[in-house]
C-alpha cells in the first residue's frame, strides 16, 4: 500500500501551480471484527477502508478535504483533483489565516511492523473454544493499519503495523465482571489460551456477594486500567496549550496559580515503544520523549505549531488537537505484591467507567467504578463492592492524596474503533490514594 500512496501523491503534487502548497494524509485498514456475546458470535465481518486528506494552501488561506479512495490509481487521481479544483475555486472567498502551518521537508521516514496474525478464516475457531463455559462479551479486531503523510516540500512519512486485540468482559451469573484485553502483533495460541484461563480464574474472585458501601472518602488503590482512564482525561481540555490559552483547561491552575501535583507523579510522551506513528497530521516529527509533568510540576504542555504561532510559544510538534498520543507515566516504588498490604483497609478499584469533567477548569472528574472492585480489610480482599459514583479532583488524585505509585508499567492498547481502528495506547501503573471521594 505504501507504493500506492507514493504513486498517488507524487501524481497529485505534480499538478500544483505556483504559490500552492499541499499536505496529504493517507490512512486505511484491512480488518476483521468479531463481536461476542455469551461466548458466542453476535456479528462478524471484514472492513477494508482507504482514505486521503488534503490541506490546500494558497495566498495565505487554507482549505482541506478528506475522501474515501477506491484504490484504483487513475480514478483516485481524478477524485482528488476534482476536490483540489473545487478548493482552488473557493479558497479566495475565505479570510486570511495568519497561523497556517506550511509544509516543510525535515526528512522522510518509514516504519513497518509486520506481525504474525491469525488468518481471518481461522480466527473464530481459534478464539471461541477457550471461552466456552463462561459468559463472555467482547470484540475481536485484527488486521493491518497504515498511515502515510506527504507534502509539497517533498517530505514523506509511512507507518504500518499488524495488530490484533480481543477486548472482553467475563460475567458471573449475578452480573459481576472482570475485564481483560489480549493484544499484540504475533499470535500465539497457547499464550492466548493461558491468558483466557487466567481471566476465568480471576472471575471466581467475583463470585462472592457484593457489598454496598456508603458514600464517603476512602483509602483507595486504583489499578492501572483505571489510571489509564484518568490520564485519558488529560487529553480533553487538559494538557493542551491551546486549551490553557482559551481558558478551558484543568491545568490552568498549574500554569497560572503555581499549583503543583504530587512529587510522586510524572507523565510524558514516549514514542520509543513504536506503537504509533511519531509524525503528526502536519507531517511533523514529535520528539521521541517529552516530559510533560515531572515530579508534580508542569514542565510543558502539548504545543502544536499552529498554537505556537498564535500564542508565541515554542512548538513541540503536537498534533493539531494537542492530545497525548504516546502517554507514559513514571513508575514509583509500590510493588504489585504489596498493593493490598499497603492499602490495608479500603477500596481496590480495578477499572473506572464513563469519566467526564464535572468542573473542568476546577480539575474535578466524575465517573463510575466498574468491573473488579473490592472492599479490602487488613490487606485482604473481603468482597466485591457495588459500583459507586466518584467525584474528585486531579489535584487530589495526582496531588496531595497520592501516597504511592506502582513500580511496573502496564500497557493498555487503544482498542477504540470509531471511524477506524486506533493505534497506540497508554503505559501506566496503579496508584494508592490516601483518600478518594465516592458520592453515590
Asked if residue 4 binds other proteins (CB under 8 A), the reply is no
Cell numbers of 173, please? 451469573
By CB under 8 A, which span of 10-18, 259-267, 282-290, 416-424 interacts with other proteins?
Answer: 416-424
Asked if residue 355 binds other proteins (CB under 8 A), the reply is yes
**At closest approach, how far in Å is the CB of 209 from other proteins?**
17
Q: Which of 1, 16, 67, 210 binds other proteins (CB under 8 A)?
A: 67
By CB under 8 A, which span of 2-10, 134-142, 192-200, 283-291 interacts with other proteins?
Answer: 134-142
Q: Which of 42, 194, 289, 341 binds other proteins (CB under 8 A)?
A: 42
Asked if residue 299 binds other proteins (CB under 8 A), the reply is no
- What gap in Å lies between CA 91 and CA 89, rounded to an integer? 6
Asked if residue 403 binds other proteins (CB under 8 A), the reply is no
Which residues in 12-31 contact other proteins (CB under 8 A)?
Answer: 28
Q: Which of 5, 9, 83, 262 binds other proteins (CB under 8 A)?
A: 83
By CB under 8 A, which span of 88-96, 265-273, 274-282, 403-411 interacts with other proteins?
Answer: 88-96
Q: Which of 15, 37, 59, 112 binds other proteins (CB under 8 A)?
A: 37
Asked if residue 288 binds other proteins (CB under 8 A), the reply is no
Asked if residue 48 binds other proteins (CB under 8 A), the reply is yes
Asked if residue 143 binds other proteins (CB under 8 A), the reply is no
By CB under 8 A, which span of 258-266, 334-342, 355-363, 406-414 interacts with other proteins?
Answer: 355-363
Asked if residue 68 binds other proteins (CB under 8 A), the reply is yes
* Interface pattern 300-319 for other proteins (x via CB under 8 A): ----------x---------
Q: Which of 3, 14, 19, 93 binds other proteins (CB under 8 A)?
A: 93
Q: Applying CB under 8 A, what is the total number of residues that bind other proteins?
A: 93
Asked if residue 51 binds other proteins (CB under 8 A), the reply is yes
When the beta carbons of 175 and 337 are compared against other proteins, the nearer one is 175
Q: What is the 3-state secondary structure (H, E, C) of the chain?
A: CHHHHHHHHHHHHCCCCCCEEEEEEEEEEEEEEEEEECCEEEEEEEEEEEEEEEEEEECCEEEEEEEECCCCHHHHHHHHHHHHHHHHHHHHHCCCCCCCCCCCCCCCEEEEECCECCCHHHHHHHHCHHHCCCEEEEEEEEEEEEEEEEECCCCEEEEEEEEEEEEEEEECCCCCEEEEEEEECECCHHHHHHHHHHHHHHHHHHHCCCECCCCEEEEEEECHHHHHHHHHHHHCCCCEHHHHHCCCCCCHHHHHHCCCCCCCCCEEEEHHHCCCCCECCCCCECCCEEEEEECCEECCCECCHHHHHHHCCCCCCCCCCCCCCCEEECCCCECHHHHHHHHCCEEEEEEEEEEEEEECCCCEEEEEEEEEEEEEECCEEEEEECCCEEEEEHHHHHHHCEEEEECCCEEEECCCCCCCCCCCEEEECCEEEEEEEECC
Q: Which of 3, 14, 19, 121 binds other proteins (CB under 8 A)?
A: 121
Q: Which of 74, 99, 116, 201 binds other proteins (CB under 8 A)?
A: 99
Asked if residue 95 binds other proteins (CB under 8 A), the reply is yes
Of 49, 35, 29, 48, the closest CA to residue 123 belongs to 35
Asked if residue 72 binds other proteins (CB under 8 A), the reply is yes
When the beta carbons of 268 and 282 are compared against other proteins, the nearer one is 282
By CB under 8 A, which span of 137-145, 222-230, 284-292, 327-335 interacts with other proteins?
Answer: 137-145
When the beta carbons of 217 and 417 are compared against other proteins, the nearer one is 417
Which residues in 255-284 contact other proteins (CB under 8 A)?
Answer: 256-257
Residue 99 CB contacts under 8 Å (≥ 6 apart), including other chains:
306, 309, 310
Cα angle 411-419-302, degrees, rounded to a multiple of 5: 55
CA separation (Å) from 400 to 7, 51, 394? 55, 46, 10
Q: Which of 16, 65, 259, 383 binds other proteins (CB under 8 A)?
A: 65
Which residues in 235-254 contact other proteins (CB under 8 A)?
Answer: 245-248, 252
Amino acid at each position: 500500500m505504501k507504493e500506492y500512496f507514493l504513486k498517488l501523491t507524487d501524481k497529485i503534487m505534480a499538478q500544483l501551480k505556483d504559490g500552492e502548497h499541499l499536505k496529504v494524509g493517507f490512512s486505511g485498514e484491512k480488518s476483521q471484527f468479531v463481536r461476542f456475546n455469551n461466548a458466542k458470535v453476535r456479528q462478524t465481518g471484514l472492513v477494508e477502508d482507504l482514505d486521503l486528506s488534503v490541506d490546500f494552501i494558497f495566498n495565505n488561506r487554507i482549505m482541506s478535504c478528506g475522501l474515501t479512495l477506491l484504490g484504483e490509481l487513475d480514478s483516485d487521481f481524478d477524485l482528488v483533483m476534482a476536490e483540489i479544483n473545487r478548493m482552488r475555486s473557493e479558497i479566495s472567498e475565505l479570510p486570511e489565516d495568519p497561523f497556517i502551518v506550511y509544509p516543510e521537508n525535515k526528512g522522510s521516514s518509514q516504519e513497518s511492523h509486520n506481525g504474525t496474525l491469525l488468518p481471518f478464516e481461522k480466527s473464530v475457531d481459534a478464539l471461541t473454544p477457550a471461552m466456552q463455559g463462561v459468559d463472555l462479551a467482547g470484540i475481536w479486531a485484527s488486521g493491518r493499519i497504515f498511515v502515510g503523510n506527504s507534502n509539497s516540500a517533498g517530505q514523506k512519512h509511512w507507518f504500518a503495523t499488524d495488530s490484533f486485540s480481543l477486548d472482553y468482559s467475563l460475567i458471573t451469573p449475578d452480573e459481576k465482571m472482570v475485564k481483560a484485553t489480549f493484544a499484540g502483533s504475533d499470535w500465539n495460541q497457547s499464550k492466548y489460551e493461558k491468558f483466557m484461563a487466567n481471566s476465568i480464574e480471576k472471575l471466581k474472585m467475583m463470585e462472592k456477594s457484593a457489598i454496598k458501601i456508603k458514600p464517603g472518602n476512602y483509602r483507595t488503590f486504583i489499578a492501572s486500567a483505571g489510571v489509564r482512564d484518568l490520564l485519558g482525561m488529560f487529553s480533553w481540555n487538559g494538557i493542551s496549550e491551546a486549551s490553557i490559552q482559551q481558558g478551558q483547561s484543568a491545568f490552568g491552575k498549574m500554569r497560572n496559580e503555581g499549583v503543583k501535583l504530587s512529587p510522586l507523579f510524572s507523565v510524558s510522551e514516549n514514542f520509543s515503544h513504536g506503537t504509533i506513528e511519531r509524525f503528526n497530521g502536519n507531517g511533523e516529527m514529535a520528539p521521541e520523549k517529552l516530559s510533560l509533568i515531572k515530579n508534580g510540576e508542569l514542565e510543558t504542555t502539548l504545543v502544536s505549531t499552529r498554537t505556537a504561532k498564535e500564542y508565541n510559544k515554542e512548538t513541540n510538534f503536537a498534533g493539531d488537537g494537542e492530545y497525548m498520543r504516546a502517554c507514559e507515566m513514571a513508575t514509583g516504588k509500590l510493588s504489585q505484591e504489596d498493593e493490598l498490604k499497603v492499602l490495608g483497609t479500603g477500596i481496590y478499584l480495578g477499572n473506572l467507567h464513563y469519566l467526564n469533567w464535572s468542573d473542568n477548569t476546577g480539575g474535578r472528574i466524575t465517573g463510575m467504578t466498574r468491573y473488579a472492585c473490592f472492599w479490602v480489610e487488613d490487606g485482604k480482599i473481603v468482597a466485591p463492592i457495588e459500583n459507586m459514583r466518584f467525584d474528585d479532583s486531579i489535584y487530589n488524585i495526582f496531588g496531595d492524596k497520592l501516597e504511592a505509585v506502582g513500580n511496573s508499567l502496564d500497557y493498555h492498547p487503544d482498542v477504540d474503533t470509531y471511524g477506524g481502528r486506533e493505534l497506540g495506547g497508554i503505559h501506566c501503573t496503579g496508584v494508592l490514594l490516601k483518600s478518594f471521594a465516592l458520592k453515590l
